[in-house]
Amino acid sequence: MAENKFLQTRGDRLVTRGGERVKLHGVGMGGWLNMENFIVGFPATEALNRRALREVLGPELGQYFFDRFADTFFTAADAAAIADVGFNVVRIPVHYRHLEDDATPLRLKESGLARLDMAVEACARNGLYTIIDLHVLPGWQNNEWHCDNPTHHAGFWGHPEFEDRVLNIWKTLAARYQGNPWVAGYEPMNEPGDPTGEHVARFFPRLLSTIRAVDPEHILFLKGNAYGSEFAFYTDPLPNVVFIAFDYAIAGAAGATQYPGETKGVFYDPAALEQRYLELTQQARRTNTPVWVGEFGPVYSGDDAIDEYRYRVLADQLAIYGRHDANWGIWTWKDINVQGVVHLDPTSPYMTAIQPVLAKKARLATDAWGHTDDAIRDVMAPLEQRFAAEFPSHPNPQWWLNRLVRHILLAEPLVPEYAESFRGLTREGIDEVMSSFDLASCIRRDRLIELVQAAIAADNPTARARTGSVIT
């Protein structure tokens, strides 16, 4: 029976081997096996904070801190709750450091593989598919903080050692999950960012053929270069693939205050959202392959009036996906109250401990994803003016200044302050702090869940989400 759940593509649809149509309605497990600053609350990047916690707590307790985080952030209870909402797939972003240490390249870590096994098995027991997403590559495949990059340059590209390490990881993963019907497929690389376009065109055929040589059956979920906007390097017809679109609407981003209405000088309404969706999904429609919107979702402000606008954006996006028969996965399952389907209690031990850091992050606007730069316009405005005057032909001055000033210059000095929030903790103290991430301690975002369930029901009128939610 489980074998009949194995997914494959058939034209622009996903079907089981028995020919049954499957629509994927899912959620990303962001922040778990790849920690991100706005999801977990630390400043800057994961690696910098891991190092700082080791210095403050010592090597043993520093490791215990992050082990207990991983133990509590996602459990079998989370898998059951995800299925309870009505989702049927979980995308699992994975940092390569869970699978391999830089000091021992090409030697895979059983501890990380076992944790990934746990997630796949817990999801399967609850009727959930999984997509395994290598979210962070050695050397960093793009120039952003969400691949743990402490710089503004993507160092992966053109380095044979990094390439060989990634191929080795995927050989191992493909062999491990070959034939597993509950693994919907593999996402070999999240958001490639090769600035030349030359290396990605050379490496991707090798990457895909390496996976296919071990596991020819699972679907490959593929992203375009330049964060998903360039697909020209996929020159040959590719069987059993799905091309990925991320659909983050500016109308639902930090700083947007009305919808329909104008944000950053552009008017947004349902028609504008639909036009953007059509632009983002051109590759799938051009190749007659299934549409997979792998990430989307508003940022919530905590202001009920503004957040109602954000929910309208979400509702309109879900309606667009329904009309166009798209598969989708919302971002993200759990966080500190930015985008999550569930979020930490603001009075929990973890949130209490980092509250001064969160307040300072907001004052300094260090997280461009969750904050506007309103509080530091006195810093940014003269920089922007001088930069524009000196470099009028620069292709993306706003990104450049945000990355260098907000995410590096102002964020990195905050890393020691985050680590100091936990100085003196014993194992028992760490256990208490990390209990904040237990599902039973979290708060559900009911309005979001209602909208998601309505969209799933509209796609599957004969299906019913389970009742009696295990989310408290």
Q: Is 295 an active-site residue?
A: yes
Give the whole-angstrom CA distance, residue 237 versus residue 218: 16
Given strand 21-22, what is the order of strands in its sheet?
7-10, 13-16, 21-22
Locate tokens 């090769």: which residue? 194
Of the candidates 185, 163, 164, 190, the one whose C-alpha atom is nearest the C-alpha of residue 174 is 185
Backbone φ and ψ of 386, nearest 5°? -65, -40
Give the whole-angstrom CA distance, residue 311 versus residue 252: 8
Helix, strand, coil content of the chain in percent (nearest 5) = 50, 15, 35
Give the whole-angstrom CA distance, residue 281 versus residue 450: 26
Give the whole-angstrom CA distance, residue 469 versus residue 472: 8
Cβ neighbour number for residue 216 with a 10 Å cutoff: 11
* Buried-exposed string 366-378: b where 16+ CB fall within 10 A, e elsewhere: bbbbbbebeebee
Q: Is 191 an active-site residue?
A: yes
DSSP 407: I
185 beta partners? 131, 219
Give the whole-angstrom CA distance, residue 297 versus residue 339: 7
Give the whole-angstrom CA distance, residue 153 versus residue 143: 5
Give the whole-angstrom CA distance, residue 58 versus residue 189: 33
- Annotated catalytic residue within 36, 295, 412, 428: 295
Query: What is the chain's alpha carbon radius of gyration, rounded to the nearest angstrom?
Result: 21
Long-range contacts for 101-106 (Cβ within 8 Å, ≥24 apart)? 102/138, 105/138, 105/161, 105/165, 106/164, 106/165, 106/168
Q: Is 53 buried (19+), middle (13-18) or exposed (0-12) by CB count in 10 A?
A: buried
- Annotated catalytic residue within 191, 198, 412, 420: 191
Of the candidates 312, 360, 333, the one whose C-alpha atom is nearest the C-alpha of residue 80 is 333
Residues 6 or more apart whose CB falls under 8 angstroms from that of 345 comprise 351, 436, 441, 442, 443
Q: Is 7 buried (19+), middle (13-18) or exposed (0-12) by CB count in 10 A?
A: buried
Residues 6 or more apart whose CB falls under 8 angstroms from that of 136 comprise 34, 93, 94, 95, 96, 97, 147, 148, 190
Locate tokens 């194995």: which residue? 6
**Residues catalogued as catalytic:** 191, 295
